[in-house]
Amino acid sequence: MKQQYTACVIGTGRIGFTLGFDKKREQPASHTMALLKNKHIRIIAGCDKNFDELKKWKEYVDGSFSQFSFKEEKKVKIFSTAENLFLNCNPDIVVIAVNEDSHLETALYAISKKPRLVILEKPVALNTKEAERIVKQSAKYKVPVLVNHERRFALDYKLAFDYMSRIGDVQKITGYLFSGMRLYDPAHEKTGGYSLLHDGTHLVDVVLYLLSACGEEKLSKPVITGLCRDEKNKKVIRGFTANYTTKKVPDVSFVMSGKSRFFGFEVEVLGTEGKISIGNGHAEFYKREESKLYTGFFSLEKDCSIKVPRKTKYFSNMIQNAVDFLDGNAQLKSTLKTGLDALKVLEEIKGKIK
């Protein structure tokens, strides 16, 4: 029988809480909502500098079906600092959902309190130097850390990972990221307020995840093409393509734009016998079949045998992975190692486009 674990949430803003009210997103879409949905977890505390918003968080959590109790000692406690939280609570799971520029300080402190598991929102840190300090702290106190690169837990991306073995030799993997947000701006180096880090960490991580199905785990030495700078501020980067080659996949690339008037996130994998196209809100799988158009030729046709789930369960599966890990029934699917690997790719790209 699974145990019930206690949890606290440090950072009750968007990803920590309020995205759970977005009616267009697949729910649960925040740490709080995913924790509440899991019957093996009970939230015991929350922490945020914005105390007015924190009180709203407490009211919601205390009133939720899975947490409701007339007993005062069963109600969640709230704190404005992590120090006060750990003086009064000893949670099994610590969720860190603060802004990127607070990841290092918060993670180092939380790990030193020796919870059974830390769930750290992506990216691991602002840069690899900070991330490596978190890795060392994790090893020092023997506290495992799960990094919320959510697509590693999503059912549609799991289908894509498994389908990699059915498309023949992989010829090309391309990751696309389009938005109106600056890709890089040195003025925001200390806050992480640019898309290369904020959204790019997801794209790089999922490409590395799919690449691992080919026996490759890392990317290095990018060749940058199509570099586009902001018209008014040449230090701001608005577009680029980063190109790589590996022993098993001759062509891997990231195409990113920060001047688009839409948000797009997609990965395309082309094999010698099939293709995968997957992104926000869609997943298609293609296989080699005798052509309907040309005698003696083969074409790629949609593989209708693949049933894409209506709900990907990306957030709830992440929390379930934490429970299964603590129960001793599973390994963590997204770790400090995989998070650091993604950060190294981003940092190398940043060094090339500055």
288 bridge partner residues: 300
Q: Using H for helix, E for strand and C for coil, what is the string for 145-170?
A: EEEECHHHCCHHHHHHHHHHHHCCCE
Q: Where are the domains of the chain?
A: 5-149+315-335, 152-310+342-353
> Token digits for 344?
């190294």
Residue 67 is predicted with a pLDDT of 82
> Tens digit of pLDDT for each residue in 70-111?
777 789 999 999 999 999 999 999 999 999 999 999 999 999
| Helix, strand or coil, per DSSP, at residue 193 | coil
In single-letter form, the type of residue at position 150 comes to E
Residue 134 is predicted with a pLDDT of 98
Residue 185 is predicted with a pLDDT of 97
| Helix, strand or coil, per DSSP, at residue 348 | helix
The overall average pLDDT reported for the chain is 96
6 has pLDDT over 60 = yes
Residue 115 is predicted with a pLDDT of 98
Residue 1 is predicted with a pLDDT of 46
Residue 231 is predicted with a pLDDT of 95
What is the arithmetic mean of pLDDT over 32-44? 97
What number does CATH give the domain 5-149+315-335?
3.40.50.720
294 has pLDDT over 70 = yes
Residue 300 is predicted with a pLDDT of 97
CB-based contact 128:343 (threshold 8 Å): yes
181 has pLDDT over 70 = yes
> Token digits for 52?
């007015």
Structure-derived torsion over alpha carbons of residues 180, 344, 210, 226, reported in degrees to the nearest 10: 40
> Tens digit of pLDDT for each residue in 301-344?
999 999 999 999 999 999 999 999 999 999 999 999 999 999 99
Find how far residue 36's CA is from the centre of its chain: 20
Q: What would the DSSP string read from start to end of 43-64?
A: EEEEE-S-HHHHHHHHHHHHHS
> Tens digit of pLDDT for each residue in 201-223?
999 999 999 999 999 989 999 99
Share of the chain residues as helix, strand and coil, in percent rounded to the nearest 5: 35, 25, 40
Indicate the pTM of the whole model. Answer: 0.96
What's the count of helices (H) and strands (E) in the chain, helices before strands? 10, 14
Assigned CATH class of 152-310+342-353: alpha beta
> Tens digit of pLDDT for each residue in 240-257?
999 999 999 999 999 999
Residue 2 is predicted with a pLDDT of 62
What is the arithmetic mean of pLDDT over 112-117? 98
